[in-house]
Amino acid sequence: MPEEKGLLIVYTGPGKGKTTCALGTAFRAVGQGLRVLMVQFIKGSWHYGELDAAKMLGDDKMEIRPMGRGFVKVGGAETDPEDLRLCQEAWEFGRAQIDGRKYDLVVLDEINYVISYGMLDPEKVVKALAERPERVHVICTGRNAHPKLVELADLVTEMREVKHPYTKGILAQRGIDY
Ligand code: ATP
Ligand code: MG
């Protein structure tokens, strides 16, 4: 048996596929009997297909926690204190779940955004992830991954946009985008 080591994985870049890549990994992990948690930092209002798919698998296999409410204004003085509070709450929850060893894989969905918006301290996140239990895999998604997170990570993939239907005016499609 190969040695088990929790990986720190980052999916970033401007192209589509960061969250879906994390979900694909989660699907694979569940098949191997791993327990998965996804904490969503921004999502909260829209209903994504993966929420129902995770329920079909069962909470004991895969759980998704939308802990945001979607942002209207972000960054600097315009950040709504309520979004800031939800963001801190999502981080504290995610960190506790990672340290609690209940899950084998924890996805911090869109955490890169909230760090780049200045809503979460990158030093604090990097320190906690560096000190996490050794066997726990963590995936961080979102554009503009912080350089310190990239440095700590074992695997970093940057999605590059080659084409996106949005540029042709085609809007989000059910089952593909949500
Ligand atoms: P997905 O959840 O589809 O994997 P993502 O996580 O890579 O996308 P996000 O930055 O989280 O992308 O964006 C979320 C939404 O924006 C999705 O509905 C996605 O389809 C859309 N989107 C992603 N990339 C692009 C792009 N390059 N141009 C326009 N819209 C995009
Ligand atoms: Mg995403």
Here the CATH number for the domain that contains residue 52 is 3.40.50.300
In a domain, 176, yes or no: no
Ligand 1 closest atom vs CA 110: 11
The answer to whether position 98 is within a domain reads yes
Angle between helices 81-99 and 122-130 (to 10 degrees): 10
- For the chain, the domain total comes to 1
Which atom of ligand 1 sits closest to the CA of residue 17? 4
pLDDT grade, residue 43 (50/70/90)? confident
Cα 2 to ligand 2 centroid, rounded to whole Å: 31
Contact 59, 125 (CB under 8 A): no
pLDDT at 75: 59
Residue 175 domain-assigned?
A: no
Ligand 1 mean position, distance from CA 139 (Å): 17
In a domain, 174, yes or no: no
> Would 111 be classed as within a structural domain?
yes
User: What's the pLDDT at 76?
Assistant: 60
Report pLDDT for 1.
Answer: 59
Residue 57 has pLDDT above 70, yes or no: yes
User: Does residue 88 fall inside a structural domain?
Assistant: yes
Better pLDDT: 75 or 8: 8
Whether the predicted model's global pTM rises above the 0.85 cut: yes
State the distance from the centre of ligand 1 to the C-alpha of 169, rounded, in angstroms.
Answer: 14
Count of alpha carbons within 13 Å of 130, Cβ hemisphere only? 11
Q: For residue 168, how far is its CA from the centre of ligand 1 (angstroms)?
A: 15
What is the domain extent for residue 109?
2-168
What pLDDT, on the 0 to 100 scale, is given for residue 46?
79
Neighbours of ion ligand 2 (CB under 5 A): 18-19
Residue 161 CA: which ligand 1 atom is closest?
Answer: 27
- Note the ligand closest to the C-alpha atom of 18: 1
Query: Which three-class secondary structure state does DSSP give residue 84?
Result: helix
pLDDT tens per residue across span 95-153: 999 999 999 999 999 999 999 999 999 999 999 999 999 999 999 999 999 999 999 99
More confident residue, 19 or 44: 19
Report residue 2's pLDDT band, with 50, 70 and 90 as the boundaries: low
Rounded-to-integer distance, Cα 74 and Cα 21, Å: 25
- Nearest protein CA to atom 20 of ligand 1, as residue: 177
Q: Is 65 among the domain residues? A: yes
Token pair of 170, please? 């085609």
Residue 177 placed within a domain: no
The CA 3 to ligand 2 mean position distance, Å, reads: 30
Residues whose beta carbon lies within 6 Å of some atom of ligand 1: 14-20, 141, 143, 159, 161, 164, 166, 172, 177-178
